[in-house]
Amino acid sequence: MAAEPVSSTRREMIARLLGLGALGTATGALGLWLRSRSRRPEAAGAVSFHKNFTVPADPARPELVIARGDRPRELVQKALDPLGGIRRFVARGDVVVVKPNMAWDRGPELAANTNPEVVGEVVRMCREAGAGRVIVTDVSTHDARSAYQRSGIAAAARADGAEVIFPDERKFREVNLQGETLTDWPVFEPFLDADKVINLPIAKHHSLTGATLGMKNWYGILGGQRHRLHQRIHESLADLASFMRPTLTILDAYRVLIRNGPVGGSTADVELRKTLVAGTDPVAVDAWAAWTFWAIDPPRMRYLRLAEDRGLGKMDLQKVRTLTLDAEGG
């Protein structure tokens, strides 16, 4: 049977309907495209990172060296020589990150930050060993530019050839710390990109742990709300020590903040001890300082027990190969 002819009126109606359908399809597609473009980007998952910056053990050398003397720069050389010298720890071309404590807007005489002469000498020695770059940085608690400047560390580090990098919120990377307490946390990128990391804390009193030493200095690699870590401070310190395994720890105890740490503010709280402690065992470094300056039995510092249980070092100083050099060098 012949098809029924389609009137012009009907043809116009069909065309309109088809046009509306096409427009609806196009409009729907455009809406989907716009929604996809305006959707809030999904946050990238935290990266897993676990780099061990340590160097091979040498049973013929001490694990801990205590050096005493009048000049901070000379103490650095004096302490490192028995450990094998800086070239044991820094190779030609290495990117070395030196991590002092420069968290506070305080001058060197108040012993809230690492002695700038000690920092400068470590930088100089790394450059002498052929390091490709030496970076000095810390995620300060006070305003970073004020703390870097007033501590004297920025000027000393630059004078000896370091790059001084201020913490910039764009340069933090979300990292899975793989800890028992600490999991995803923003970490300042220089500590993730280094070949070697030298921990350069100062010995200070701390109301929560008794003392703030090498392991507590790792707070300065983190962004975010660090005050939350104080809720489980011992577990947090053990997690950070597991995450950040330094090439070398050099504890500045030239001036020691004996009371009212970690910020201080009065020279009455500072004692001149003219001491530097260098070691490849970060647990032993903290244990020695806690006992020597505050008479704290190391097992009483729970974070040291946790760190030892994780195989990060020894807190029983009788089991640590130790060399003590007095002001005359013997």
pLDDT at residue 317 greater than cutoff 50: yes
Residues facing 9 on adjacent strands? none
Asked if residue 172 is part of any domain, the answer here is yes
* Cα gap 168→138, rounded to integer Å: 11
* Cα gap 324→330, rounded to integer Å: 7
Asked if residue 20 is part of any domain, the answer here is no
* Cα gap 19→100, rounded to integer Å: 71
Q: Nearest Cα to 156, choosing from 191, 117, 109, 203?
A: 117
Q: Which of 100-104, 111-115, 230-234, 283-287 has the lowest mean pLDDT?
A: 230-234
Altogether, the residues listed in the chain come to a count of 330
Q: CA angle at residue 86 from 84 to 91, to 5 degrees?
A: 110
Residue 143 corresponds to which tokens in the numbers above? 């305003």
Q: What is the average pLDDT value for the chain, to the nearest integer?
A: 88
Asked if residue 132 is part of any domain, the answer here is yes
Asked if residue 14 is part of any domain, the answer here is no
* Cα gap 251→100, rounded to integer Å: 9
pLDDT at residue 210 greater than cutoff 60: yes
Residues facing 257 on adjacent strands? 204, 270
Most confident of 27-41, 128-142, 219-233: 128-142
DSSP 25-75: HHHHHHHHHHHHHHSPPPPPPPEE---B------TTS-SEEEEE-S-HHHH
Q: Give pLDDT, residue 47.
A: 74
Return phi, psi of residue 62, to 5°.
-65, 155
> Residue 265 is part of a domain; what is its CATH number?
3.40.50.11440
Taking only the tens place, the pLDDT of each residue in 57-112 is 999 999 999 999 999 999 999 999 999 999 999 999 999 999 999 999 999 999 99
pLDDT at residue 34 greater than cutoff 70: no
Number of domains in the chain: 1
* Cα gap 174→188, rounded to integer Å: 9
Q: Give pLDDT, residue 45.
A: 60
Asked if residue 141 is part of any domain, the answer here is yes
Q: Give pLDDT, residue 145.
A: 97
Q: Give pLDDT, residue 32.
A: 37
Contact 139, 166 (CB under 8 A): no
Look at strands 270-279 and 248-257 and give their pairing: antiparallel
Taking only the tens place, the pLDDT of each residue in 240-268 is 999 999 999 999 999 999 999 999 999 99
Residue 50: pLDDT band with limits 50, 70, 90:
low
Please count the other Cβ atoms lying within 10 Å of the Cβ belonging to residue 192: 16
* Cα gap 301→153, rounded to integer Å: 30
Determine the structural domain holding residue 148 and report its residue range. Answer: 47-325
Helix, strand or coil, per DSSP, at residue 216:
helix
Residue 269: pLDDT band with limits 50, 70, 90:
very high
Q: Give pLDDT, residue 227.
A: 84
Q: Which of 124-138, 221-235, 302-316 has the lowest mean pLDDT?
A: 221-235
pLDDT at residue 168 greater than cutoff 50: yes
* Cα gap 221→223, rounded to integer Å: 7
Q: Please enumerate in sequence order all residues whose Cβ is within 8 A of that of 184, keeping only pairs 6 or more positions apart, or say none.
A: 46, 174, 175, 176, 177
Percent of the chain with pLDDT over 70: 84
Q: Give pLDDT, residue 51.
A: 73
Q: Give pLDDT, residue 7.
A: 44
Amino acid identity for residue 187 in this structure: V
* Cα gap 309→321, rounded to integer Å: 19
Most confident of 10-14, 57-61, 229-233: 57-61
pLDDT at residue 181 greater than cutoff 80: yes
Q: Please enumerate in sequence order all residues whose Cβ is within 8 A of that of 276, keeping only pairs 6 or more positions apart, or say none.
A: 66, 67, 68, 72, 75, 76, 78, 79, 118, 250, 251, 252, 253, 254
Q: Give pLDDT, residue 22.
A: 44
Percent of the chain with pLDDT over 90: 81
Please count the other Cβ atoms lying within 10 Å of the Cβ belonging to residue 46: 17
Asked if residue 152 is part of any domain, the answer here is yes
Asked if residue 253 is part of any domain, the answer here is yes
Taking only the tens place, the pLDDT of each residue in 113-142 is 999 999 999 999 999 999 999 999 999 999
Section 213-233 average pLDDT: 93
Residue 103 corresponds to which tokens in the numbers above? 């968290």
* Cα gap 127→135, rounded to integer Å: 11
pLDDT at residue 39 greater than cutoff 80: no
Asked if residue 28 is part of any domain, the answer here is no
Q: Please enumerate in sequence order all residues whose Cβ is within 8 A of that of 226, keeping only pairs 6 or more positions apart, or say none.
A: 219
Section 268-293 average pLDDT: 98
Q: Give pLDDT, residue 330.
A: 52
